[in-house]
Structure 1
């Protein structure tokens, strides 16, 4: 299964918390790589993961991020990627075509252990699946058959997201 973009959009409308907060003990944190064109989908995924006890960093929620992308933007993104426990790549048509998202996952690949990088594949309303071939190198966060979110490693063994 993959996460439907409509489910992410619906979750975004039910938001109760926003932004990266002070990390609680044992709470996983993640940098969410996504296209800014997919703001609503990113908010929905953030909401779904926050409900599972995660703390999710989204760059445009960072008050100290420059208004226009520049070298400082890249440095802040690098620090956020390194500082988070996980790197998540929201795979959509927009993110795979983005200039920043492939750079971010490439940077994360060089800085984070492979088992701390996960792709979140999505399908759109037409049933189109998004994710380039290289994204299949990483674990994925997906909808489990019994509902809820799970992390599936490259051998397709799942662990509940709440348990990570």
Structure 2
């Protein structure tokens, strides 16, 4: 299993390019969407990694919802009922939730709520650890162990889809897991 690393995602974020996909082209494709493949749950403190992950996922053909990218008008320090309703709507408009976890995730008030809501609504949730090294082991908060892990694709010859690690010995390509 190979995880996404902080350095890889940070480099992607800084370059603003993955293959032929640029951050601005990905943004233009997703800005006016009303349905998404992935709701990307994350800590805002991981913004530089999330920008890289957004680019990685969109370069693989996924439509991705990230609140500060798609709905930049949200005020993080002034949460209202309208904000909560909009986030709820965006989760309902998404096929799945990817929980991008790092050491900052355990301090997030939103992430566990988003995971619980989406798990109850659609049940299609997976954990994507952001680690220091590709081959790190992942041991997150205890409740995360009930969900599959998202790892890098395993084909070394081409940029393959992500893997969903269902158990120690079983995985699927993400598109198959999402029922594309």
TM-score category of the 2 structures, normalised to the smaller one: 0.7 to 0.9
Q: Secondary structure at the match of 1:9?
A: helix
Summarize the Cα distance change of 1:160–1:62 in structure 2 as closer, same or farther, 3 Å threshold: same
Verify the 8 A CA contact 1:150 1:160 in the aligned structure 2. yes
- The equivalent of 1:131 in structure 2 is 140
- The equivalent of 1:160 in structure 2 is 173
Per-residue CA distance 1:126-164 (angstroms, 9 max, x = gap): x68462121121122112444443222245422233555
What is the distance in 2 between the residues matched to 1:146 and 1:22?
Answer: 33
Summarize the Cα distance change of 1:92–1:144 in structure 2 as closer, same or farther, 3 Å threshold: same
The equivalences for 1:70-109 within 5 A come to 70-109=80-119
Per-residue CA distance 1:9-39 (angstroms, 9 max, x = gap): 112123313433456xxx9611100011001
- Residue 48 of structure 1 and its aligned partner are, at CA, apart by 0.7
Paired residue for 1:142, among 141, 151, 166?
A: 151
Verify the 8 A CA contact 1:65 1:73 in the aligned structure 2. no
Summarize the Cα distance change of 1:14–1:132 in structure 2 as closer, same or farther, 3 Å threshold: same
Summarize the Cα distance change of 1:71–1:128 in structure 2 as closer, same or farther, 3 Å threshold: farther
Verify the 8 A CA contact 2:38 2:98 in the aligned structure 1. yes
5+ residue gaps, structure 1, are none
What is the distance in 2 between the residues matched to 1:130 and 1:9?
Answer: 22
Q: Secondary structure at the match of 1:86?
A: strand
Moved more, 153-162 or 47-56: 153-162
Paired residue for 1:56, among 45, 52, 64?
A: 64
Per-residue CA distance 1:54-76 (angstroms, 9 max, x = gap): 01110112347432322211111
What TM-score do the two structures reach when normalised by structure 1? 0.82
What is the distance in 2 between the residues matched to 1:130 and 1:155?
Answer: 14
5+ residue gaps, structure 2, are 17-21
What is the distance in 2 between the residues matched to 1:140 and 1:55?
Answer: 19
Give the total of aligned pairs: 158
Whichever of the two has the greater Rg, that structure is 2
What TM-score do the two structures reach when normalised by structure 2? 0.76
Verify the 8 A CA contact 1:31 1:56 in the aligned structure 2. yes
